[in-house]
Structure 1
Amino acid sequence: MDVRHVQITGGSSFMITLPKEWANSVGLNKNDTINVQAQPDGTLLLFPRGVQPLAQKRTSKSIDVTDVTDLKFIYRELIGAYIAGHTTIMVKSAQPMSKELTSVVSSFVQTAMGLEMIEADESHILIANLIEHEAIDMKKIVERMGSLVKNNVKDVYHAVQTGDYSRIGNMAVKDSEINRIYWLTHRQYNMYQKNLTSLTKDGPSMLKFTGCLFLSRVLEGIGDHVVSVSKFILGIKGGGSPIKLDPFVAELGERIIANLDLSIKSWINLDIELAHQAIKEADELVIDAERSMVGNLKSSERSSLNAVLELFTIVVAEYCKYISEFSFSASME
C-alpha cells in the first residue's frame, strides 16, 4: 500500500500528492479534473473524468462450441457469461451449428432478462445485453421474486386441497421466471463489485447488494423445491380429485406460507421484531412437522403426500430462518 502524507495549503485546504505511476497509467495531465467520491466505509474513490469504471465498459465473451457436444455444458457457459456481466456474448463454431445447439442458445436468450440475438448464421450467434445496469433496482426485483415464490407455494396447497392441478401443471415454466430474476440479481451484484462509483454515501451499501444476492439465492432454492413437490403431486394425483390431507398438514401449509411472507417482510423493512418473530415461528414449524412425521411413520392409512409436505415444510422453514437471520444482522449495520 502506498502511504501519502496530508499537507495543508492556503491555511485550510488538505492536499495529498497522487502516485505518478498511476497518473501516467490513466493519462492524467496538468489541469485535468478528477472525480472524488466518498464511500460508505469512509474511504475516498478517485477516478479521472473520461475514464470509465470497469462495469461501464463494453466487454465481450467468446464461446467456441466447435468440439463441444454436451448442450447442458454450453447452456451453463452462457449463464456464466451473462452473470459475469459481459455486454455481448459471441457463440462461434468452425462447423455449421446443429439445430439442437441453436435451440439451446435461443432458449437461453429468451430466459435471461435483457438479451437479444442480434446476429446469427450457421457459424456464429451474437447476443447483446440491452438493459442499462444503473437503471435496475435490485431490491424491487428481489421483492418481485419473493412474491412469485410465495404464490407458487400457495398453488401447491391449493392444488392438493381443491383438485385444481392446473396451477402446478406448468410449475417448471413459472419457476423459470424465478431463475431469470436470480441470474439478473447475480449479474447486477457482479456489476456493482466492478463499479464502486455506484456506492454513494447516501445510497445503497455493498451489504445491501449482498443481501439482495443472498435472498435471491434462498428464494431460488425454495422455488426448486416447489417444482419437485409439484412433480410428485402430479405423479400421484387421481383423476383431478382432491388428495386427502391430514388436517394438521394442511395447517402446516397455512403456517409456512405466513412464515415465508413474514420473513420476506423482515428483510424488506430490516425489522428485527419481525425477524425475531419469523425465526421463532420457523423453529416451531420445524418441531411440529418433525413430530408429526415421526408420530405417523407406522400409520398404513397415511398417504406419502402428507410426509412429503411435512418435509417440504421443514425445508422451507429453514430457508425462512436464513432470510430472517440475515435481516437481523443487516438491521444492525
Structure 2
Amino acid sequence: MSIVKFEPETRRVQLTGGATLIVSLPKEWTRQVDLKPGDEVLVIPQPDLSLLVVPKKMVKAPLLESSISVNQDLSNIDHVERVLLAHYLSGYDIFKLNFDITTLDLKRQVKDIVRRKLTGVEIIEEGRNSLVIQNLVNVPDINIRDILVKLVKTVVGMIDDLRTPIENGDKAIATDIVERDNEVDKFYWLLNRQLKRILISKHALSLSGLQDPRSIIEYAIINKSLERAADHAVKIAREVLNLGDKYVLLMPQEIRQRFSELLSKDSMIMNNVGKAMIEKPDVKEINYIIDAVKYEIRSAVDSLDTNLTNYNISTQAAASARLILDSIYRIAEYASDVGEALLNLSIEQISL
C-alpha cells in the first residue's frame, strides 16, 4: 500500500455568487485520484477544525492484492505465518499463495492458520499448489470499542475458568482455555489491522468513531496488554496440563486454594477494566485498579512465593508454583496497563 507524498500548496480563498467561498484543488492531487469535473467529493470536518476532502468514488477502496511465493526460502510454517500476518496487517485484502514441490505440505497448515487467527478471512479458491485467500471484513464496519469489549470478556472468561483446573486439575477445562486463545488472537490481529488502517487514512479514522488520532496509541497498548494477559492464562493452563495427573498430588490443597483466590482477584480487576471501557472512565476507579495490582496483588504473590519453602513440596512442584504465581501477577499487571491507557484516553478527550 503506497502513500503518495505531496508538498503543501497555498490556495487563496475566493468569493463567488456574493456569499460562497471557494478554493481550487491542487492539480497533481486531482490527477492522482482521477478527479474529473462533475465528480463528487466528501468534505469531512475534523476535530482540529481542518477539513478532509475525499473523492466519493474512493470511499469504497479497491481490493489490494498480494502474492506470496512459498518456496524453499520460506519452508518453515512459522515463517510463512509471520509473512502472511504481515501482509494482513499491512491492509491487503487478497492473498495469493503459490507453493512449490518443497513446500506443498505446508498448504494444509496455512489453511489452519487462516481458520484460527484471521477474522473474516476465507479461502475462496484452492488449486493443487495454490491458495487464494480474501478478507471479507469491511474496515468501516469495525467498531474498536466493540472488539475490545469482546476481547476483555473472553480474557475474563479464561481467567474465571482457570480456577477449576487450578483447584482440581481438570484437564478438559485447561485444554479448552488453551484453545480459546485462538479467539483472542483473532480479535488481536483484527484490531491491529484496523488501527494500522486508520493510522494512514484520515477517512478511515473519521469512520472509526475515534475523535483523537492520539488514541490509536492507547488502543494499541490495550490490545497488546489483553493479548498478553490471555497468553499468561494459557501458560497457567499448560502448566496444569504438563503436570497431568500429578498436579493435585504435587500441589497441596492450601496452595491450590491460594492460587484460585488470586485468580479471582485477577478476574475482578480485569472485569473492572472492562466496565471502565464501556462506561466513561472514572479516574478514581482506575487509580484503585492500578493500586490493587501495585500493592495488594504484588504483596500476596510475594508472600506466597516466600512461604513455598514452608510446604513439603518437591523441587518440581515449587518451580511450577512459581511459574503459576508469576503468570497470575502478570495478568494483573497487564490489566493495570489497560487501566493506565484508559486513563490517558480520558485525559486526551478532555484536552480536545
Query: Taking structure 2 as the reference length, what is the TM-score of the superposition?
Result: 0.84
Contact residue 262 and residue 297 of structure 2 kept, 8 A: no
Shift of 1:314: 1.9
- After superposition, the Cα gap between the structure-2 partners of 1:90 and 1:43, relative to the gap in structure 1 and judged at 3 Å, is same
Instruction: Please give the alpha-carbon distance, in whole angstroms, between the structure 2 residues aligned to 1:256 and 1:294.
Output: 17
The residue type equivalent to 1:28 in the other structure is L
Aligned equivalents of 1:238 and 1:124: distance in 2? 44
In the other structure, the counterpart of 2:271 is 261
Number of the residue aligned with 1:17: 24
Match of 2:4 in 1: none
Alpha-carbon spacing, 1:239–1:294, altered in 2? closer, same or farther (3 Å): closer
**SS of equivalent to 1:245:** helix
Tell me what 1:69 maps to: 75
* 2:10 equivalent in structure 1: 3
Q: Secondary structure at the match of 2:79?
A: helix
User: How many equivalent residue pairs?
Assistant: 330
Match of 1:319 among 326, 334, 348: 334
Provide TM-score, normalisation by structure 1. Answer: 0.88
Quickly say closer, same or farther: Cα 1:249–1:31, change in 2 above 3 A.
closer
**Counterparts of residues 236-275 of structure 1 (less than 5 Å):** 236-238=243-245, 241=248, 243=251, 244-246=253-255, 247-269=257-279, 270-275=281-286
Distance 2:260 2:103 in 1: 51
C-alpha separation in 2, matches of 1:132 and 1:329: 29
Query: 1:24, CA displacement in angstroms?
Result: 3.1
Q: Which of 271-280 and 18-27 deviates more?
A: 18-27
Q: Does the CA contact (< 8 Å) of 2:95 and 2:134 recur in 1?
A: yes
Residues 199 and 205, structure 2, Cα contact 8 Å, conserved in 1? no
- In structure 1, runs of 5+ residues without a counterpart are none
**8 Å Cα contact 2:195-2:216 kept in structure 1:** yes
The 1:283/1:57 distance shift into structure 2, 3 A limit, reads same
Cα drift, residue 239 of structure 1: 5.9
Distance in structure 2 (CA, Å) of the matches to 1:266 and 1:23: 44
User: What percent identity do the matched residue pairs reach?
Assistant: 22
Counterpart Cα distance in 2 of 1:20 and 1:321: 50
CA change 1:26–1:257 in 2 (3 A) is closer
Asked if residue 227 in structure 1 is aligned to residue 238 in structure 2, the reply is: no
- Asked if the contact 2:90/2:196 (under 8 Å) is kept, the reply is yes
Taking the aligned partners of 1:66 and 1:114, their CA distance within structure 2 comes to: 26
Structure 2 residue identity aligned to 1:154: D
Structure 1 residues 8 and 198: CA distance shift in structure 2, 3 A? same
Q: Which residue of 1 aligns with 2:182?
A: 176
Q: 1:161 aligns with which of 160, 167, 182?
A: 167
* More displaced stretch, 150-159 vs 247-256: 247-256
Shift of 1:8: 3.8
State the partner residue of 1:28: 35
| Per-residue CA distance 1:89-116 (angstroms, 9 max, x = gap) | 00013547523x1112111221221122
Residues 266, 272 of structure 1: 8 Å contact kept: no
Alpha carbons of structure 1 residues 103 and 210: separation in structure 2 relative to 1, 3 Å? same
Distance 1:231 1:203 in 2: 39
Distance 1:142 1:110 in 2: 21
Deviations 1:194-219 (CA, angstroms, capped at 9, x unpaired): 44223449933344554443322111
* Alpha carbons of structure 1 residues 26 and 291: separation in structure 2 relative to 1, 3 Å: closer
